[in-house]
Chains A and B, each alone.
Chain A
């Protein structure tokens, strides 16, 4: 176990380094400096700016400076906002995005697991059909379409919910549903198929033969095993939610990190783009790692590595 964890940690560092390097050199391969794309600056001003941000130094020096900063968890200053560091952007934006994302995951699991269980236990009946219908709809409609349609119906036509912001609990409802739609559908489908598979196993027949109640059979024996595939996909699901937040935050004007990331792209704020990309990558790698470890802890049959 320890050996596996150490190996995974080393790989995480390697992956992060590769991503940092690629992002760094991509951002520096853009023709023209970050200050030339705006209106023409006097040469002296531009030189001063370049010197301030150390852009006048050779690329490899900048690269090692950046890596050194990264080791101290310092992502450098923003190019477009004077005196604001990328760390500050993340510190203000990420908690908002994370609370929205966390709520969405909880919402998805709370709805998807019972839905999937009902569908599997009522296999072929109307409950199953309904669940599969919802799941198909959820998988086929992109989140931004769901978001816009929800906003049209509930905010503009009915006027029940606010169109933007997270000022009250009401503000969370639409973003959470829109963001979680795909994950919810996917998880419900997975829950259904995995429970169906487990219910056909021999040990379920044994449990029934012992005379256990159907409730105990499902909860104690079937469900525990059927939840394992769900945990495996939680990592990728978190990744999808994280990137899905770009568009949801834009539509509902949520001042989160995703919204900030998108605007830094249109502003060509290279250090922010670079820093936030690396931050996202680090979060994702860490999430997958945690999920994998968790997965091994729950299911002793899975051998590490």
Chain B
């Protein structure tokens, strides 16, 4: 009927359907749905989430696709960059390393073997290398830049750029694969992130919850402890624990330091939330119905404080990752041969002039990790608590 209604009489009133009026047309939305909606509205938070997923996949699944080990050194192939120039010597490809060694490379960029040195004439500044089958190749390092010459002293100029196929991201100053070391380093960063989150979510919430809900003298004492703990920066704690546990403890000392003191900020946040929540009616109702302290805390108070808790966690995670990288950088964190983004940056400093990619790669990895966590954190903060948006 509705189709021909306007044909018959455009001014006739519509029939009123009582059930129609009561019907809820839009889908009901839950809190989680609202949060997800607000989260996905912001492009940076989606970018952060995407980055985070890619990084997790990269470092969790990545190592199983890489044929090298993070700790095996190959001193024949030290400081080989991701892309390099090779000389074409009669159909064979030779790479001249910055420290004046010759490495034979296949046409597609696979590293084959270093050429053996026959003799080194220090006076004339010429080194002769064995090409096999009686052929020789001379490296003239009197010239600047050094050049390759064949046995008739003709300079070889035929060069082309190839990508390093054996080590796609190059090797470090001990001939270890950069790619797998990056993956292992990021694993450490993410492990630290997980531990920081766990410490905050377990100890921080319980400590703050108990302190806020029980109150009185206990609260005063617990908060004074928090005050004292938070007067020293975390870095100093990590250093003290590192010294106490001995040099070989590595990452364990960072984990212990995080576990013992990293929950204080969270405890403060939770306590503040609980203090305002515990005077509300639903808590009185729960108590009247006979719920115990533990039950009120875990089923009524803490779930209601979840918004600020998640916001605080996402703010604290990048900081923990940063502290691990920082400690490893100054040589007090992860111990060799294990790779951490911080130790990789530090190792790169000594060869910065000749092999800057050794710094760029871990630096990029740290920045991406921090950006991912910061973006997700900002997005979650805005999504969970739109009032806080700045």
Contact = CB atoms under 8 A, between A and B. Distances in A.
Interface in B237-251: 239-244, 246
Interface of A: 11, 14-15, 18-19, 22-23, 26-27, 29-31, 136, 139-142, 144-145, 148-149, 151-152, 156, 189, 192-193, 196, 239-240, 242-243, 246-247, 250-251, 261-262, 265-266, 268, 270, 273, 277, 280-281, 284-285, 288
Interface stretch (B200-208, B287-295, B323-331): B323-331
B267 interface: no
A247 B329 contact: yes
A23 B231 CA distance: 14
Interface of B: 227-228, 231-233, 235-236, 239-244, 246, 318, 322, 325-326, 329-332, 342, 345-346, 348-349, 352-353, 356, 359, 363, 366-367, 370-371, 374, 390
Contacts of B390: 189, 192-193, 196
A144 B345 contact: yes
A143 to B, nearest CB: 8
Contacts of A261: 239
Which of B231, B366, B370 has the most A CB atoms < 10 Å from its CB? B231
Given A142-B366, A196-B390, A277-B232, 16 more contacts: A14-B228, A26-B240, A144-B342, A145-B366, A156-B352, A192-B390, A242-B233, A247-B326, A247-B329, A247-B330, A268-B243, A273-B240, A277-B236, A277-B240, A281-B232, A284-B232
Nearest to A190: B390
A266 B366 CA distance: 25
5 contacts: A15-B228, A22-B240, A27-B243, A148-B363, A247-B330
B150 to A, nearest CB: 34
Contacts of A136: 371, 374
A121 to B, nearest CB: 16
Across the A-B interface, give the 5 residue pairs with the lowest CB-CB distance, nearest first. Answer: A193-B390, A140-B370, A243-B235, A145-B363, A140-B371
Contacts of B233: 239-240, 242-243, 280, 284
Given A142-B366, A145-B366, A288 B359 contact: no
A151 B246 CA distance: 32
Contacts of A277: 232, 236, 239-240
A15 B227 contact: yes
Contacts of A285: 231
Which of A22, A196, A265, A284 has the most B CB atoms < 10 Å from its CB? A265
A268 B242 CA distance: 11
Nearest to A284: B231
B236 A250 contact: no
Contact of A11 (B227, B348, B374): B227
Contact of A30 (B244, B331, B359, B363): B244
Contacts of A151: 352
A281 B231 contact: yes
A26 B244 contact: yes
Contacts of B244: 26-27, 29-30
A152 B236 contact: no
